[in-house]
Structure 1
């Protein structure tokens, strides 16, 4: 069994080109016994964004708090807590904080996607 508070998990600044004010935490993955997958928590500060990018693996997202926009293959969708999103492999995507508070979402990817 593995149980831990997100407050105790290392926060890593996302420094990829196009990223602005994004923190990543790897909550559960192979190191905790979940082979092949990783559940991450992203916190995007007001005015921040993830890079607009694509990759071969899919990911599943769940919005925890704040308000933002999910860009997916040329379309934008406003999201808020309780929304989920599926990004297929190869799709161009981006998460943008459009609100006044942190935009926080869970992102589950195959292990190779936790870079």
Structure 2
């Protein structure tokens, strides 16, 4: 067993196509190097009025909203999600996140190792 405290990890920038996504940070809570053979757990923060641009990849992922609210678009469906919501994003579906609120968004994202 391994226990990792979120506060012991530093925020890292989120990158897409070699560029930092302004106002969005990530902390890798659990990863392969921690002995987790199948999945990684990541903690994201999105500042107010920021977005993670549309993207897709060949793996699924699960999101759990810890605090705040946002719009998640997957394919041609957009849903407003808020604290305590769980979201499943299918593989190979273009998706994006928008924090249109005035509050910090915090969420967990679970992905398989790639």
Counterpart for residue 31 of structure 2: 29
When normalised by structure 2's length, the TM-score is 0.91
Equivalent position of 1:11 in the other structure: 11
Cα distance in 2, alignment partners of residues 96 and 20 from structure 1: 12
Aligned partners of 2:2, 2:30: CA distance in 1, in Å? 8
Residue matched to 1:60: 62
Please give the alpha-carbon distance, in whole angstroms, between the structure 2 residues aligned to 1:46 and 1:31. 32
SS of match in other structure, 1:51: strand
Other-structure match for 1:80: 82
Residue aligning to 1:103: 105
RMSD: 1.4
Q: CA deviation at 1:100?
A: 1.0
User: Residue deviations 1:41-74, cap 9 Å, x none?
Assistant: 1101001111211110110110000111111102
Q: CA deviation at 1:27?
A: 0.3
- Consecutive unaligned residues in structure 2, runs of 5 or more: none
- SS class of match (1:31): helix
TM-score calculated relative to the size of structure 1: 0.91
**Which residue number corresponds to residue 91 of structure 2?**
89
- Aligned partners of 2:39 and 2:101: how far apart in 1? 30
Shift of 1:36: 2.1
How many residue pairs were aligned? 112
Post-superposition shift, 1:15? 2.8
**More strand by percentage:** 2
- Where does residue 40 of structure 1 map in the other structure? 42
